[in-house]
Amino acid sequence: MMASAISVTGCSHNASDAKSTSAGVSQAGNEQEILLEDFENASLPSTYQKRDIDINLTKTDGVTQGKQAAKLLFDSSVEDSVLEITPETPWDFTSLGNMNLAFDATNTSDVSVQLYVRVKDKNYQSQLRSMIIPANSSETYYIDLSGEQISRDSGLRADPPAWPSDDFRMPYMNGEKLLDLSGITTANFYISTNLEDKSIVLDNIRARSNPEIDSTYLVGLVDEFGQPAKSNYKNKVKSDAHLKQLAKEELADLAANPVLPDRSKFGGWKNGPKLEATGYFRTEKVKGKWYLVDPEGYLFFSSGLANIRIANTTTLTGVDFKDDAVRYIDPEDVTPEDSLGIRPVSADAQKTRFVSSDLRHKMFNWLPEYDDELANHYSYRRSTHKGPLAHGETFSFYQSNLERRYGERYTESFIDDWEDVTIKRQRSWGMTSFGNWVDKEFYQKNQFPYFANGWIIGDFKTVTADGHGWSPMPDPYDPEFTRRAAVTTKVIADEVQNNPWCIGVFIDNEKSWGNPANINSHYRIPVQNFLMDAAESPAKQVFMKMLQDKHGTIEKLNATWGSSIASWASFAKGYKVEEITDGMIPDMSMILEAYTTQYFDVVDKALTAVMPNHMYMGVRMAAWSINPEGVRAAKKYVDVMSYNYYREGMHDAVWHFLPEVDMPSIIGEYHFGAMDTGLYHPGLIHSSDQADRARGYKAYMRKVIDNPYMVGAHWFQYTDSPVTGRAYDGENYNVGFVSNADVPYTEMVEAAREINTELYPRRFNGQEK
């Protein structure tokens, strides 16, 4: 343990009054500590900023050092509540060597609080961490800002702690991992979109040198069932026999709890009003509320789980092959890498095997030999989105557990068994449909409603030079984009076969239209596109013509923008926007809306041509990219607006635009995760344990169900991420309704049954026909 810090640096206390081994630093052994803020003054320093937050200096609850601490009161009526701690001069932590930022936090609320901490340096770089603080608890939390464990890219979204400690390490969320520790300018403590008033007590913020790293902290993380090897928890599988016993118990439970009695054939509300039956899913507004309507005319609300497929269950093993044939990609492929299922490597290619990452290979306590009966669960990832390995061998512990659970009566019979049990689970848990990204093998089973999906990928031009978000933004004015949209939608149509069980189609995902919270991000697409040569960019040609039609001469454009562009020819070659002026904003907005309109127009025409009976569900806009231009464009073409919204719930301060848009809308992704089952990252929205996950799920769903514009919400995802991170991007989240051993989380199942039992009566005010 660290010695208690008694000195102060960077706050209003006089550092010369402190007792320390050197100015501002206390020391125990080889470990040093600098106390940054203890909240002992009568008021907060004038350099500190508050936004939509009340702060009381308390002398009672949560004081861990001295006589008082800061009680942060979070108001649920506002979107974000922020305390920005800014020292008079930037903090310099270089004297500490490898170090971490720590603080004590006491949650005085009766519900858990997800606290975010964003640390910024003098170079305007920042890093975001987050942690759940359980209800009525008091602990020490830390952010490791330097050291070998931060510099190393393990391929996991969050690594296990690098040293043993009773303190809690805050998982990395996003931003620059290696900040300039010679000048830390701010530390923001905040919460976002909370549904209830909450409070925490903050005390004893300090910078500490790191303890010695455990050299084996990344070794032996995974057991033979793909479970966290270093943790024990309820229903952790101990053996093949134990797995089969848990499966037997679950099957008995599913048989005892079949489909709810108020459901129609397609999952609609059998006890509610019946509208016109068209034979396909559609939408209708009735008595001020938007609804989905099932093929028989019953009112329908889509409650379901997304990503029910094997594709995202593989993890990189640290092995690769010298045979380049394993990395060949057909340019006419319509399925992106992370949506592909198991892709075996040939026996000849396996002969060229080598360990490409000893670090990753040692994470596994067991992997099958190539002649093992479970070796058919090896696959290959030809490219990745992020991580230290650009490609490599993968293994699906989840699929191997399906074979262990069900056996193999014929080739891959365990997949058929899994599909059958999956449908039984959805019905028993009260779900009404699958969410996005369900395996296409479910499409023609005619047992459970689903959404089809596809991506428009290919060698078309882009409007930005780099890959912001998941991928570079496409140029929808390029004829090749139009051709690839037609190719993709034709494949989807062939898979769906005009099936009435298909509710609608999602195309692409979380496109980076621009974040309206920041002007540079908001208009990133036109700004980046202006850098391009119009001769190489169809979009730039269109945007230029729009500006010429509006302003006429380059002189008038310069007068409006406050720019000094030499000529239209100069602009065509490439123009760098140094600053987005007020005069530019109307033109930027005009161009952005034209761009998004063109995108939706191309996709809608391609989909309508081959699937006229099925709804276009849009692109599932990410919460950070819901801008007015994109929303206005989508509204012109989609049948249902779709949003991925990872927050505690639908906050009134965020969704005020829904009445103006007045469209049926759906949440395509949300989740809650915890770390009590040994995974090293909870996910995007955190809970303290499985019971708290269930509480969060119920609160989120009730807000959606009660909203008159919402027609559904889909939890992401069906299974936990692999412990060592999914192969595509390293996500290693506890966000599944089932574990990697395919064992359901009891708390989540019970919560789903509760919510889905009340779903239709709650949604429709209990008014039966």
C-beta separation of 326 from 350 below 8 A: no
Q: What is the pTM of this model?
A: 0.93
| Residue with tokens 């901490």, as numbered in its chain | 117
C-alpha separations of 99 from 96, 122, 203, 752 in Å: 6, 18, 19, 43
Q: What residue type is assigned to position 622 of the chain?
A: A
The SS3 of residue 766 is coil
The SS3 of residue 611 is coil
What are the residues whose beta carbons fall under 8 Å from the beta carbon of 195, sequence distance 6 or more? 76, 648, 649, 651, 699, 703
Please tell me what DSSP assigns to residue 365: S
Please tell me what DSSP assigns to residue 4: P
CATH 2.60.120.430 in the chain: give the residue spans: 15-209
- Euclidean distance between CA atoms 35 and 19, whole angstroms: 12
- Euclidean distance between CA atoms 29 and 530, whole angstroms: 57
The CATH code that applies to domain 15-209 is 2.60.120.430
Q: What residue type is assigned to position 646 of the chain?
A: Y
- Euclidean distance between CA atoms 472 and 749, whole angstroms: 38
How many other β-carbons are positioned within 10 Å of the β-carbon of residue 662? 14
Task: Annotate 688-721 with b (16+ C-beta within 10 A) or e (fewer).
Answer: bbbbbbbbbbbbbbbbbbebbbbbbbbbbbbbbb
- Euclidean distance between CA atoms 29 and 203, whole angstroms: 24
Strands (E) in 633-762, as ranges, are 641-644, 665-669, 710-716
| Residue 605: HSE in the Cβ half-sphere, 13 Å Cα cutoff | 10
pLDDT at 404: 97
Could you tell me how many helices (H) and strands (E) the chain has, helices first?
Answer: 17, 30
Mean pLDDT per 10-residue segment, the chain (769 residues): 32 30 47 92 93 93 93 93 95 96 97 97 97 96 96 94 96 95 97 93 97 96 97 94 96 96 97 96 95 98 97 96 94 87 94 97 98 97 92 98 96 97 98 97 97 95 72 93 97 98 96 90 95 96 98 97 97 96 97 98 98 98 91 97 96 92 98 97 97 98 97 98 95 97 98 98 70
- Euclidean distance between CA atoms 181 and 147, whole angstroms: 12
What are the residues whose beta carbons fall under 8 Å from the beta carbon of 279, sequence distance 6 or more? 295, 500, 613
Q: What residue type is assigned to position 611 of the chain?
A: M
What element of type H or E holds 565?
none
- Euclidean distance between CA atoms 232 and 460, whole angstroms: 49
| Residue with tokens 């989120």, as numbered in its chain | 700
Phi, psi of 595 (to 5 degrees): -65, -50
- Euclidean distance between CA atoms 524 and 533, whole angstroms: 17
- Euclidean distance between CA atoms 645 and 670, whole angstroms: 6
Decide: residue 320, CB within 10 A, 0-12 exposed, 13-18 middle, 19+ buried.
Answer: buried
Q: If we measure between CA atoms, which residue out of 385, 411, 65 comes closest to residue 204?
A: 65
